[in-house]
Amino acid sequence: MTGQLDVAVVGAGIIGLATALTLADRGHRVTVYDPAPLSGASHHAGGMLAPAAEVVYKQEPLFPLMRRAAEWYPELIDLTGTYSSAHTGYRIEGTLVVGRDRADREHLENLRAYQSAHGMSVEPLTMRRARSLEPALSPALAGAVRLPGDRQVQPRQFTQALYAACAAAGVRLVDEAVADVRDLPADQVVICAGLGARDITGWYEGERTPLKLRPVYGDVLQLRVPAHQFPLLNHVVRGFVESRPVYLIPRGDGTLTIGATSREDERPQPQAGGVHQLLRDAIEILPAIEDCDFIEATTGARPGTPDDLPYLGRVNDRVVVSTGYFRHGILLASVAARCGAELVEKRAPSLDLSACTVMRHA
């Protein structure tokens, strides 16, 4: 398919906005529909671009997508900067992963072996070296590694920058919900509505959606570092405390993000136990957190699938589906944008998407 197309993108989170901007930059007329832009899972995300640190055992089909997403991310950052001068929070310091006690150190060593076996760059560190990089780390930590290739964005800043870039690139932004894609006046439709994609009709046969999406809730905390302590951290620090994962993300605006719990209890508000757990474990890793200001606790619902792989592919002559990115939506936005645009243009995608076929759980 060649020439200028009228494209409707449903959803104004990071996936929808990145896809819309890419399509507009390719010369298409794009309209984005969302009744509450910038308010979904992206608003609560950590923003780690961590194809190595985010590795989960037995999810090998995800690894090529994550690696390619990291390679393509600078292009997405540059494209955003072409149309908007707003900050994205893009940082390149890398990640430190630490273990609280001997058992956590063993967990760390096993994970490092698994990461290395899959071609990921992981540098073992002595604790002396780790604390020279991040002096505020607890002296009681038992082990550390460094992942130099990891990056981060500030999701709230980045989605706002994408929104502004879309407007500057000529994308029409409509604050309306879409219930049926047949109502959209467009040549092509891209469904990027996260969990909301399961409620959109007009593209599949039968009464039930083929998308098996479920909400996976996560509590996330925002703190402010006092001026006399800033910067408290420079690297993203991920830790294991009694095998529980926790992450701490420093921001250039003086804030610090701590996350994230993971639960499937249909409770969309922050839970006291989750907030307590995150603070307790973060303080074990970075004791100076006790002196930070508490800004907020929020809960986001990540769109999970049965196999934790996204739905990304063409489903008929007019509709492309791009959703279900679970914990990796920020990182995989670069893949969603490039491959989504290629699918709209009916080109072969730049990455093998056979593991992401939309109808695989129908």
My answer on whether 290 and 227 are in the same domain is: yes
CATH code at 289?
3.30.9.10
Alpha carbons 162 and 261: distance in angstroms, whole number = 27
Instruction: Give the tokens for residue 78.
Output: 């540059």
The closest of 295, 280, 224, 219 to 253, measured between CA atoms, is 224
My answer on whether 23 and 140 are in the same domain is: no
pLDDT (tens digit per residue) in 161-179: 999 999 999 999 999 999 9
The closest of 335, 323, 322, 325 to 72, measured between CA atoms, is 335
pLDDT (tens digit per residue) in 297-336: 999 999 999 999 999 999 999 999 999 999 999 999 999 9
Q: Please tell me the total count of domains within the chain.
A: 2
pLDDT (tens digit per residue) in 221-241: 999 999 999 999 999 999 999
The answer to whether residue 1 sits within a structural domain is no
The answer to whether residue 325 sits within a structural domain is yes
My answer on whether 119 and 222 are in the same domain is: yes
My answer on whether 164 and 72 are in the same domain is: yes
Alpha carbons 55 and 48: distance in angstroms, whole number = 12
- Tell me, what DSSP letter sits at residue 207? S
- To the nearest 10°, report the CA torsion of 162, 166, 169, 175: -160
The answer to whether residue 362 sits within a structural domain is no
Q: Where does a domain end: 271, 286, 304? A: 304
Helices marked H in 134-187:
155-168
My answer on whether 48 and 123 are in the same domain is: no
The answer to whether residue 106 sits within a structural domain is yes
Alpha carbons 273 and 178: distance in angstroms, whole number = 36
Domain boundaries, position 59 = 6-86+154-212+306-356
The confidence score (pLDDT) of residue 230 equals: 96
My answer on whether 162 and 178 are in the same domain is: yes
The confidence score (pLDDT) of residue 351 equals: 97
My answer on whether 32 and 135 are in the same domain is: no
The answer to whether residue 60 sits within a structural domain is yes
CATH code at 314?
3.50.50.60
pLDDT (tens digit per residue) in 123-150: 999 999 999 999 999 999 999 999 999 9
How many contiguous H segments (helices) and E segments (strands) does the chain have?
A: 7, 16
Helices marked H in 225-353:
272-285, 333-344
**For residues 342-347, average pLDDT:** 98
My answer on whether 206 and 251 are in the same domain is: no
pLDDT (tens digit per residue) in 169-223: 999 999 999 999 999 999 999 999 999 999 999 999 999 999 999 999 999 999 9
User: How are beta strands 214-224 and 236-241 bridged, if at all?
Assistant: unpaired
My answer on whether 220 and 79 are in the same domain is: no
Residue 273 has pLDDT above 60, yes or no: yes
My answer on whether 206 and 225 are in the same domain is: no
Q: Which helix (H) or strand (E) is 19 found in, with range?
A: helix 14-25
Instruction: Give the tokens for residue 231.
Output: 């910067």
The confidence score (pLDDT) of residue 264 equals: 95
Burial label for 92, CB within 10 Å (0-12, 13-18, 19+), is exposed
User: What's CA 181's distance to the chain center, in Å?
Assistant: 26
The answer to whether residue 186 sits within a structural domain is yes
The confidence score (pLDDT) of residue 55 equals: 86
Q: Which helix (H) or strand (E) is 236 found in, with range?
A: strand 236-241
* DSSP code per residue over 35-95: SSTT-SGGGG---EE-TTTT--TT-TTHHHHHHHHHHHHHHHHHHHHHH--S----B---E
The answer to whether residue 73 sits within a structural domain is yes
The confidence score (pLDDT) of residue 2 equals: 62
pLDDT band at 1; cut points 50, 70, 90:
low
**What percent of the chain has pLDDT above 70?**
99
- Measured in Å, how far apart are the chain's first and last C-alpha atoms? 28
Distances, alpha carbon 161 to alpha carbons 3, 82, 172, in Å: 28, 11, 15
Number of CB atoms found within 10 A of residue 270's CB: 19
User: What's CA 349's distance to the chain center, in Å?
Assistant: 21
- Can you tell me which residue has the tokens 């990145």? 18
User: What's CA 153's distance to the chain center, in Å?
Assistant: 9
* 348 upstream amide cis, omega within 30 of 0: no
The structure's pTM equals: 0.97
The confidence score (pLDDT) of residue 56 equals: 85
User: How are beta strands 143-147 and 95-99 bridged, if at all?
Assistant: antiparallel
My answer on whether 208 and 222 are in the same domain is: no
**For residues 55-69, average pLDDT:** 92
Q: Is 170 left (phi over 0), alpha (psi -120 to 50) or beta?
A: left
Q: What angle do CA 171, 173, 176 make, to 5 degrees?
A: 150
Q: Where does a domain end: 304, 329, 346? A: 304
Residue 244 has pLDDT above 90, yes or no: yes
- Can you tell me which residue has the tokens 């804030």? 255
My answer on whether 220 and 82 are in the same domain is: no
Q: What are phi and psi of 216, to 5 degrees?
A: -115, 110
The confidence score (pLDDT) of residue 3 equals: 85
The answer to whether residue 361 sits within a structural domain is no
